[in-house]
Every structure is written in structure tokens, then in C-alpha cells.
Chains A and B, each alone.
Chain A
Amino acid sequence: MTQDVVLPLSILILLIPLLSFLINIFFGNKLGRLSGVVGTTILGIDLGLAIVVAFTKLTSYGTLHIIQNRVEWFNLGSVKVLVGIGIDNIAAIMLIVVTLISFLVHLFSTVYMEGDRRYPKFYAYLGLFTFSMLGIVIANNFLLMYIFWELVGISSYLLIGFWYEKNSASNAGKKAFITNRIGDLGFFIGIMILFFTYGSFMFEDVFAGISSGVMPFNNPTMLTIAGICIFMGAMGKSAQFPLHVWLPDAMEGPTPVSALIHAATMVAAGVYLVAKVFAMFTADALTFIAVIGTITAFISATIALTQVDFKKVLAYSTVSQLGFMVMSLGVGGYTNGFFHLVTHAWFKAALFLAAGSVIHAMHHAAHHMHDHHTDAQDINNMGGLKKTMPWTYRTFLFVTLALSGIPLTSGFLSKDGILAGTLAYANLTGGWHWIIPVLAFTAAGMTAFYMFRLTIVAFHGEHKTEIAKHTKENKLPIVLPLVVLAFMSLWIFYSPNPIDASKGWFHKMIVQPKSAVPDAYQWSFLLNEHAEEDATVAHQAEGSTTHLEATTGKPDDVKAAGHTTGHYLNKFQEESHHFHYIAMILSLLIAGSGIALAFMIYQYKLISADKLEARFKFLHTFSLNKWYFDELYQATAINGILVVSKALSWFDNYVVDGLVNLSSYVTRGFSYVVGLFDNYVIDGAVNLTATFTGFLGAKLRKVQTGHIQSYVVFVLLGILILLYFFI
């Protein structure tokens, strides 16, 4: 496979889900049950192509920064607007993530959505969503990315509100859409600042412009602001504080949708965006990102502690983990942030699909027992599912371990890297930045606790209700995706060493890009110490340690080793490495204590949960009510907008309408005068003409006798007159 096949294949990968959308939206009703099979098959083909492309990029062209093209789309005056698609290493990995999870969700849904009235439409929307998401992945410019960004927004709106008969579902869809719009507005402003300054939407042009020292409005602060604006888009899609409120509500959508959109792909888009344009963030922008990520990770972890809805716990857990990723990018741990995005995608999709499996089983059992009042998603109605649903339990337990950060899982590798990064960051910058690792470790501990609380309450112990007793393990299309995803959460896929990912291929391939920001506005520890090396080598495995280079004997590695023996790309990575073992031990301790606490409280009841609850009544209600964010927004943003709207409506009704009415009165008066003129003068003239014509006609008609012979006489008279006239 050669390099120039990669891009056409990528376009094919992009378009194939669109085909699925078109088939299912137009012929869905004819296909009926078949639409699921069609959708799944198409996604299967797409997955195959994505694997081919990704492996080609990562193996044959791994050292090449990006394979891309530039196409002139249209002209804005003298400015040519270029677009294009590009496959770099993170895009290649994201292709697999998106298509594989999408494929598994398609497969899962064949059983889960069975019997739904709009079954073909569901598959159509899934296809549209996959198409949009792949568009984000392969865009190499802000313009296309923004377009697909909005397409993702609309398709997620359709999917969240899929059961729009339920008021809560349609409200959740609207909430997700509107909240995303707030972030997208920032994204849009950021894009416009960059386009205005650098005259191009292409990432590489913008980066080249920044590194040449050109600043938006000649002000470095504006570059920070542009970065924060771009990041606002990510805040919306990746549900970062304070725009995180839509994600838990989005659990109203069908559970496979939650797995696809709200665990693995759409919410990853924000993180992906930050990773893609990582080179343009200044030190200040990165600090902002890190703080937002930390706050998100901590707050949502505390909320997850007390939720009783199975999916809500997972939703807040997702928000928390997204916070971790954003935090990691913010502190400069590019590779680990993206690593966590990938590993998290597998195990969180698995968690959600397991939740779907449980809920499906609970629904079936409830339906079987004619019980329509018990909440099938409340974990307090479950219990003992370990016995009735063994495969779901096993996979769920394993991915819970992965999420909690236990060795031998992928989650351990990525989370450990992030935590080490926060320690390194705090150590390098000092001051209040130490809050970041503190909150990060606390959140990691809480993650372990609430995940095991969920596992123990839902799966262990006795059946809490009759429904739980009657649950049954689901069919293969539901269990198979779980197993596949759990399997993907093993450490072995990323690194041969179960406790250190930095030796694996992933860290070798995903290399922190050289920051485009001039040195003065960037953290000194993020500056590449070997920046003078030639550009093609700069994107190679410099970040990896020397022993890796010794083990893999590729020529370019040897070349790189010539310069970098014993060195890291930058000071941050070096520092991260120093903190690696400290972070590992600390996180294991904290995760272990979280798990132990969960077992003490919920499994062995050594500590009464109720008493704890009573003791920390205020904290509990605060967490249970999600820090009153919804209420806060209701009181401030929503009511504020309503008040403004009412004021505007008053203004509209009385002032604007008054003006309009006044002008209409004036116009009517004028028209009346004009009408009079029209009626009497103009019509009078017209009538006069008509009357005159009629009079003439009445006189002349007498000539028309109807006698042919008199006509002949007239003709003869005429001829005679002519004759005498001419002679």
C-alpha cells in the first residue's frame, strides 16, 4: 500500500457510513429489521478499511508527521480558502476507535433496539453520527472540522432525543444541543480570530504563522484568548466544567447511543481537537485548560459518588475521565492525554454497553413480571446480577478495574501517566499549581470508590428485587461487543510492560508536537531541547527512552538515538519520568483504599452507608443534587435569558410594533389619497377613452350591413377612387 492510496481510502471510510445513513433513511421502512443488518455490515466494511489505513499509516509511514492534501474550495476576495483531509498518527488511531466502537454499537443495537418502532431511523442516525465523527477525525483544517463538529452536534441531538415521546428525552436533546452551541460559539470566534490573522483555515498554515511570530492583533494575549476560544468548543463537546451539565441528561438516549457518543467518540472530539491544535496553545491557555480539566475531574467524581441511576454514575464518571484527559493536555502531557482518550474509549464503551445489557435484562424481566413502575436503571433495584448475568458481570468487573487504574489494564497505564504528569507540572511550576495533582489524586481515588460501589451494589449480594432475580444473560450480539471491548482494555495492546507505557508503540507513535508558540509565551519545560533537529526526525520517537531504541532496531531510531541518548524531548517528559514510580505507588494506594472502602461499606457493611450519609448530610445532598449546577443555571442563565427575552418582547410589542403600526397608518393615509387620484383622474381618463371608442364603434357598425353586395360596391368605389387618384 502506497502513500497516495491512504487519502482516497480515508475519504471512502468517511463516506461509507453516509451510505448507511442514506440507505436507512430512504429505504429504512422497506428494509425493516434488515436495516440493522445493513448498517452493521456497512460499518464492518468501514472498520476493515479503517484498520487497513491505520496500520498503513502507523507501520509504513509512522515517522511521517501527516499524510494530507490541500484543495482550494472557494475564494473570499483575494483569499483562497483551502481545505483538505489529513491522516496523522492520532487520526489513524481515532479512525480505529470510532469505527470499531461504532461497529460494536451497531451490532449491540440489533438486539437492544429490537422492537423499537423507529428501528431503521436509529440506524440511519447512527450512520450519520459515524460519518460526522469520522469527518472531524480526518479534517486537517478548522473549516471542515467546524462543519463536521456541527454535524456531530445535530446527529447527537437526534440520537439523544431519539425517544422524543418522552418529554425528558426531547429536553435532554435540546439541552445537549444548546449547551454545545455555547461552546461552539467560542470555537467559531476562535477560528475567526485565527483566519483573520493568518488567512487560512489549515492547521499547518496557522501553526506556521504562529511560529513566525505573527500574533493576532499584534498581541500575544490574543493568541491565548484565541486558544481559549478554540478550547471552548472542546469544553462543549467534551462536557467540561461549566458546560458539563448536558452529558448526564443525555443518558435519556438509548444506551448504545450513550456508549457510542457519550463515552467514546463525541465527547472525545473535544479532547481530540485540543490534541490536534496542541501546538498553538500558549502557557496561559494551557494553564486555563489544566485548571478546567482538574475542576471537571474533581467535581464530577464527587457527584458520581452518590448517584443511584446506573447510567448517571457512568455519565459522571465519563465527565470526570474527560477532565483527566483535558487536565493532562493542559499540563503538557500530550501523549498521556490522548492515550487516556483511547484506553478510556474502550473501557467506557464497555461499561456503557454492560449497563445497556443490564438495563435490557431488567426491562425484559420487568416486562415479564408485568411490573412497569420499578425504575429499571436504579442500582438499588438490582443486586445479585453476578449470578444471573455472569458474562456481563465479568466484563464489567474487568473494565471497572481498568477505570480504577489497577495494573495489567490499559487504564492503569494511561491514568498513571497523567498523574505523573500532574506531579511533574506542579513540581516544575510550583505555587498553587500543586492543587492540580492533589485534586487529581483525590478524583482518582473517588473513581475507584464509586466504580466499586456501583459494581457491588448492582452485581454482588442478594437480589434486591424480584425483577433482578428474573434477569437473564443477553444474546450474543450484546455479549460479544462487551467481551471485545474488555479484551481491548488489556495492557498488552499498548505496551509490553504492564506498569510502564512509555516503552510501548503508542508512546513511540504519538509524539508531542513541537509547540508553534514563540518561546517567550510557552512554558520553558515544554520547549524542545532538540528543536534544531530536522523536521522529519522531530516527529519520531524522540520521546521514548533509550532502552526502547536499543530494543527496536529501526534505522531512524538509531539516527534519533545518535542525538538523544539519555535525553527526553523536553524537560517535562524527563520530570514525568522521575515522578513515574511515585505517581504509580500513590495512585495504587489511593485506588486501593477507594476499593477497600467501597467493599467495607457496601459489601461487608462494616460501615453503615446510611450513617455516613446522615453524618455528612450537607455534603451528600450537595453531591446528590450535582452541586446544584442545573438549579444555578436555571436561576442565572436560563431565567436571565427569560427576563431579557420578556423585556425584548415588551420592547417588540410596544415600541417596534408601535413604530410599525404608525408607519402603516401613515402608509394607509397616503394610499387613500393616491386611491382617490387613481379612481377619479386616472380611471376617468381611461373611461373617457372607452366611451369615445364605444361611440365611434356604434357609428361605424352601421357600415357593416352583412350584405356581400354592398361590400362589393364599396370595394368598387375604393378602386375607382384609387384609379383616379393615381392617373
Chain B
Amino acid sequence: MEIGLTHYLIISAILFSLGLYGIITRKHAIMVLMGLELVLNATNINFIAFARYGGMNIEGHIAAIFVIILAAAEAAIALAIVLNIYQNFRHVNVDEVDNLKG
């Protein structure tokens, strides 16, 4: 079977699910962040696959570039927040940072 759009979409779906699993199950904030990166990359694969096979062409690339930009900004801010949490709690376990508990 020739490699087509569906193959890439399945890879991105698996990657996306792995990312989600990481986000939900890891306690360490940075591990959560890594899961997030996986999700974003899965999205990017979708964009590029559609650009190649779905007629999105250059728009797909542009969208992927903006996702990367957002990811960079997000990573910077998120790590700053993580450092801040570390300064305040001396750990970075997200399940223990529950000051907003109702």
C-alpha cells in the first residue's frame, strides 16, 4: 500500500494520544510539558500532511510555523512558571499545587 494521507494521520493520532496520556498521568510539571509538546507536534504533522495531500499547500506550512512559534512562547512561559512554582513550593508536582481547590 502506497504511503498516503491516512498513514500520517494515524501516526499523529497515536502521538496525540500518547501526549494526552503524559499530560494526565505525570506528576512532574516538566513531564506534563513534554506531553504537551507531543500533542503540538501531532497537530503539526496533521497540518503538513494536509498540506501535502489535502490541497492546503503553503497555508498548511504557515499554520505549522505559527504553532511552532506558539510552542516556543508557551515553553518559555511554562518553564518560567515552573521555576516560580519551585521557588514557592520547593517541588514541581502539579497534583500538589491545588491552591485553587474549591
Q: What residues of chain A have their CB less than 8 Å away from a CB belonging to chain B?
A: 700-709, 712-713, 716
Contact = CB atoms under 8 A, between A and B. Distances in A.
B95 A701 contact: no
A75 B95 CA distance: 82
Given A709-B23, A712-B24, A716-B20, A701 B102 contact: yes
B94 interface: yes
Q: List the 7 shortest-distance A-B pairs measured between CB atoms, nearest first.
A: A704-B102, A706-B98, A706-B101, A701-B102, A706-B100, A709-B24, A707-B95
Contact of B102 (A703, A708, A709, A712): A703
A708 B32 CA distance: 10
Interface of B: 20, 23-25, 32, 94-95, 97-102
A706 B98 CA distance: 4
Contacts of A705: 98, 101-102
Given A704-B102, A705-B102, A707-B98, 14 more contacts: A701-B102, A703-B102, A706-B99, A706-B100, A706-B101, A706-B102, A707-B95, A708-B94, A708-B97, A709-B23, A709-B32, A712-B20, A712-B24, A713-B24
5 contacts: A704-B100, A706-B101, A708-B32, A708-B94, A712-B23
A708 B23 CA distance: 9
Contacts of A707: 94-95, 98, 101
A646 B99 CA distance: 77
A162 B27 CA distance: 93
Specify which of A704, A705, A706 lies most central, judged by the most chain B CB atoms within 10 Å of its CB: A706
Contacts of A703: 102
A286 B60 CA distance: 110
Specify which of A700, A708, A712, A713 lies most central, judged by the most chain B CB atoms within 10 Å of its CB: A708
Given A712-B23, A716-B20, A702 B102 contact: yes
A615 to B, nearest CB: 115
Contacts of A706: 97-102
A34 B102 CA distance: 79
A121 B32 CA distance: 86
Contacts of B32: 708-709
A708 B24 CA distance: 9
Nearest to B29: A708
Contacts of A701: 102
Contacts of B25: 709
Contacts of A704: 100-102
A654 B53 CA distance: 101
Contacts of B24: 709, 712-713, 716
A713 B20 CA distance: 9
A705 B97 CA distance: 10
Contacts of B95: 707, 709
A712 B20 CA distance: 9
Specify which of B97, B98, B99 lies most central, judged by the most chain A CB atoms within 10 Å of its CB: B98
Contacts of B102: 700-706
Nearest to B96: A707
Nearest to A713: B24
Contacts of A713: 24
A716 B21 CA distance: 11
Nearest to B98: A706
B82 to A, nearest CB: 13
A711 to B, nearest CB: 10
Contacts of B94: 707-709
A701 B101 CA distance: 8
Nearest to A697: B102
A709 B101 CA distance: 13
Contacts of B100: 704, 706
Contacts of A709: 23-25, 32, 94-95
A704 B98 CA distance: 10
Specify which of B25, B95, B99, B102 lies most central, judged by the most chain A CB atoms within 10 Å of its CB: B102
A417 B37 CA distance: 121
Nearest to B25: A709
A695 to B, nearest CB: 15
A615 B92 CA distance: 126
A709 B27 CA distance: 9
Nearest to A700: B102
A704 B95 CA distance: 13
Nearest to B23: A712
Contacts of B20: 712, 716
A702 B101 CA distance: 8
Contacts of B99: 706
A703 B101 CA distance: 9
Nearest to A709: B24
Contacts of A702: 102
Nearest to A708: B94
